[in-house]
Structure 1
């Protein structure tokens, strides 16, 4: 992969585990990273010829403040801010070293860290966001106050100023963001997406055009000359619950197993992918078979991001 890769300087992958659940109310999602690693993900990468390093971040809960009142409609803002700020520096350092950065979540508020770190190293990058949800609510528009539904509003500068997130720089231009797989979008988010002119492909578009054409159109929008670094952030709830049942906010009618893997394979084939996130695997939900199935899918998606192909 790296011999044809336009940005990575070595065949090294830095795996950053972020065992964090503070962006939403369910426990269990903090167990996602370790379960993916226990399933053999690092060994799988080594078998693919990658030098692999792993940062577990097992002491991340130590960053939880003694008091963390709701502030400007957001829940646990100090905890989310403290964790994502620390992790963003980790990711920035690894990206600057020319390594592929794979972040294992954790809930999707962790994207505050991943996008900040990756775009700090690659200011011209583009972001492909694969998710059932748009995650672009502002503090003013969110009904739940859960920050895992808000990271993109801060990263694009659409959110109002918030005292706990003044460190987050609006590094992500809206024309460098594209969605694939949306199917559960709040009315306020629909307006934000329309008003900002953000390119979004819902499951309707996947049904209409097919996943191959959707990925091509998505890349044509954010990376028309195929010369910019790509960051892929993949929430496993983009997949249909029959494929990845152990996740916190499942929505029927999602991507099939093959559609999800095709996205990762096709983007890896560009030689431009510099970072990927696998988010919202929650081993505390559903039965043992469902957890095994979801963890297995998370690992195979990650391998596809690093160039695994069917032939």
Structure 2
């Protein structure tokens, strides 16, 4: 299993950061995603690929839950989400600065407040590829659900800056350094944000039109034209079609195939620029045991591809 030498990481250490957290959305169970991925052998699989693997479970995140957490500016559980992501952000920054590949296992996608904040603190010139059925760039005033897992990118890009509970989140991500693949359920408010900010957003229409290989190239040409910047991948398993990854909280039909999802991870690993990856929204409480098994296996497989596993 060969991978072109990583241009930023000299160590062969993977820091697996568990983010067992469900407070950014209403469905319980997603907090069990990280442990299921690890219990199914992910760390051992990475060690067999030649990596030294460290794992931090962060199983005490529930202790950060405040006694009172009222809705503020339309957002639900803002204090809990903020406390958890603030703590994880410091941990992820530290691991990234130790020259380790940071693999964060979610948890719901509000955890991206932590992963992007942490990774970009270590690599300020990084770029972000967001693989998801949803754009997750709603503003507090624009969100209809109030679920923070649909809002992290508005804070990280500075489009939302005046929420009292998220004052710690810095606008580390320039909109020109963000690209999406796999969108197919985007709010009208978010469509306007994507257009107004000239964000490179590829929907399933583009995947059908161009093929997945061309879509990855289009994104990299836009956010990393000289192929010299660190890349952070945030992969929500609901980007995959529900037939591939059924056990997730907001499934949407018509998603990426098994092969397309893996191609993205393989292609980014091949650049030698990938420094961090998130595998998010695996929810073992949803669907049948077989569906859960399949979803967990796909999550592990995507992670291995990010670290250089390839078919040949």
TM-score, L = length of structure 2: 0.99
1:15 corresponds to 2:16: yes
1:20-99 alignment runs, 5 A limit:
20-99=21-100
Q: Name the residue aligned to 2:273.
A: 272
Alignment check: 8 A CA contact 2:3 2:308 kept:
no
The residue aligned with 1:189 is: 190
User: Is the partner of 2:179 in helix, strand or coil?
Assistant: strand
Deviations 1:164-199 (A, max 9, x none): 000000000000000000000000000011011101
TM-score by length of 1: 0.99
- SS of the equivalent of 2:275 reads strand
* CA distance, structure 1, for counterparts of residue 289 and residue 107 of structure 2: 19
Mapped contact 2:6–2:272 kept (Cα < 8 A) = yes
Deviations 1:66-118 (A, max 9, x none): 10000011000000000000000000000000000000000000000000000
Distance 1:123 1:290 in 2: 38
1:156 corresponds in structure 2 to: 157
Alpha-carbon distance, 1:54 to partner: 0.2
Equivalent pair of 2:178/2:200 in contact (CA under 8 Å): yes
Alignment partner, residue 100 of structure 1: 101
* Cα distance in 1 between the residues matched to 2:117 and 2:216: 24
Q: How much has 1:160 moved relative to structure 2?
A: 4.0
Q: Does the 8 Å CA contact 1:23/1:107 hold for their aligned counterparts?
A: yes
- Aligned runs of 1:105-124 on 2, under 5 Å? 105-124=106-125
CA spacing shift, 1:3–1:215, aligned 2, 3 Å: closer
Which SS does the other structure have where 2:44 is aligned? helix
State the SS of the aligned residue for 1:250: coil
Identify the range of structure 1 (237-246 vs 1-10) with the bigger mean alpha-carbon deviation: 1-10
What residue number does 2:259 align with?
Answer: 258
Structure 2 equivalent of residue 135 of structure 1: 136
Q: Could you say which residue in structure 1 is the equivalent of 2:284?
A: 283
Q: How far 1:4 sits from its partner (Å)?
A: 1.4
Q: 2:303 is matched with which residue?
A: 302
Q: Note the alpha carbon deviations across 1:219-276, whole angstroms, 9 max, x for none.
A: 0100000000000000000000000000000000000000000000000000000000
Structure 1 residue 141, shift from structure 2 partner: 0.1
Structure 1 counterpart SS, 2:124: coil
Hey, what does 1:212 align to over in structure 2? 213
Say if 2:161 and 2:167, in contact at 8 Å, map to a contact too. Answer: no
Q: Distance in 2 between matches of 1:175 and 1:287?
A: 40
Root mean square deviation of aligned Cα: 0.8
Distance 1:11 1:176 in 2: 26
CA apart distance, 1:159: 1.1
Structure 1 residue 279, shift from structure 2 partner: 0.1
Q: Does 1:231 align with 2:211?
A: no
Contact 1:241 1:254 (8 Å CA) reproduced? yes
Q: CA deviation at 1:3?
A: 6.8
Q: Answer yes or no: is the 8 Å Cα contact 2:117–2:169 preserved in 1.
A: yes
CA distance, structure 1, for counterparts of residue 3 and residue 243 of structure 2: 34
Compute the displacement of 1:9 (Å): 1.9
Taking a change above 3 Å as real, the CA distance of residues 160 and 96 of structure 1, as seen in their structure-2 partners, is closer
Q: Is the 8 A contact 2:129 2:234 kept in 1?
A: yes
Q: What's the secondary structure of 1:66's corresponding residue?
A: coil
8 Å contact from structure 1 (residues 139, 160) kept in 2: no
C-alpha separation in 2, matches of 1:9 and 1:3: 12
Contact 2:3/2:270, CA 8 A, preserved across alignment: no
Is the 1:138–1:160 Cα contact (8 Å) retained in structure 2?
no
Count of aligned residue pairs for this structure pair:
311
Aligned residue for 2:295, secondary structure, equals: helix
Ranges in structure 1 where 5+ consecutive residues have no aligned partner: none
